[in-house]
Amino acid sequence: MATNILMPALSPTMEEGKLAKWLVKEGDIVKSGTILAEIETDKATMEFEAVDEGKIGKILVAEGSEGVKVNSPIAVLLEEGESADAAPAVKKDIPAAMKDIGDAVKKEVAPKVDAAKAAPAAAPAAKADGGRVFASPLAKRIAADKGIDLSGVSGTGPRGRIVKSDVENAKPGAARPAAAAPASAGGGGIPGVAPLPDARLLYPAGSYEETPHDNMRKAIAKRLTSAKTLIPHYYLTVDCNLDALMAVREKMNAAAPKGKDKVPAYKLSVNDFIMKASAMALMKHPDVNASWTDTAILRHKDADVGVAVALDFGLITPIIFKAQTKGLVEISNEVKTLAGLAKEKKLKPNQYEGGGFSVSNLGMYGIKNFTSIINPPQSCIIAVGAGEERPVVKNGKIEISTVMTVTMSADHRVVDGGTGAKFLQTLKQFIEEPASMLL
């Protein structure tokens, strides 16, 4: 019996994906485990395997298609002896309730549309976002004669007013893009907050180039808007003296064994020490190593620490699991491996989902101080600035030391201010006295 091959859910949060590449074609015989296609999710490009054997009877979704919903048919698998005619129909049933709503909308909207068509050309035009279009009387007359919709014309006059030359250069039927619906955690607007206009409505046509959103950029926008809107952030900042850490790092790197090619077996970074210090501090402060749910706070037994990796096409936070049990060299090597996979979009969901805490470090770019947005379901993230020489007071004397600023963003539903302050105090101690992490 012919069956539909469905778009897989390759991660718990995946709702749709891009069918990046078909690795089979119609007529191919496949077995369980055969790689059928490459699916691009919001975080990575992953291979999709067949679970049954048979012949690819028909490909329903073309290679390169975006926005393919999870569990929607993408191909038809035939059993031996079957033809493509046996393929099950792809139904697009509309629930009765939805049909009733659609009919009601048509009844409500249709008269208004007809009235709009019958309205005189002299009526003021409206932009796609509902605002009035400002145009000179001559421009309006020319637009009416040529059948041009003024809402689709960019004005070059004072304050964006549409003038004669704008209309003469416009093509009949030209229209600007409609304002995009505001994004939020639930897909709709934020109650009581006016939606932002589509930026394309504010710039003259031809003055910009559009780069369509890929799945990763859409996911980043959705998650960060949701996190910043729904999570009550607060921020704590502390300065850490790096003199002792830099000295230990230098000694450890100098002691790294070298192979035949004289390349050191490892090269520790300051961030490796910060990852380890964060893990140790989390184990001492379990109230920070926690996640919020509507019915309970989840306190994690291990310190699973994420590290933000900047990519050319977005941002992802792979996780060092059970970081409290791993040494600096192991953490360093694992971070490098995960960062490499991230840049190739080959991370698996179990390598970046979950975690209890994250580290975002922009020190390598010379950034002194910044704040980060919490990465749910985590409740805290630290933003690490550059280590720089600063004057500090020691025993009543001014000396020069290497100092780094760390700012923690915390979810106030989970971590109270005093709890967050104690955690940062412990983190500072581990960073300033690296040997204490061994105790």
Residues with catalytic function: 412
CB 436 within 8 A of CB 430: yes
| C-alpha 382: how far from chain center | 18
CA distances from 114 to 109, 110, 129 (A): 9, 6, 20
Rounded to an integer, what distance in angstroms lies between the CA atom of residue 437 and that of residue 171? 70
Which DSSP string do the residues of 265-304 spell out, in sequence order?
S----HHHHHHHHHHHHHHH-TTTSEEE-SS-EEEPSS--
Rounded to an integer, what distance in angstroms lies between the CA atom of residue 140 and that of residue 164? 8
- What pairs with residue 78 in β-bridges? 55
CB 84 within 8 A of CB 58: yes
What are the tokens at 356? 């209890």
Helical (H) or strand (E) element with 138 = helix 137-146
Among 410, 391, 394, which residue's Cα sits nearest to residue 402?
391
- What pairs with residue 319 in β-bridges? 306
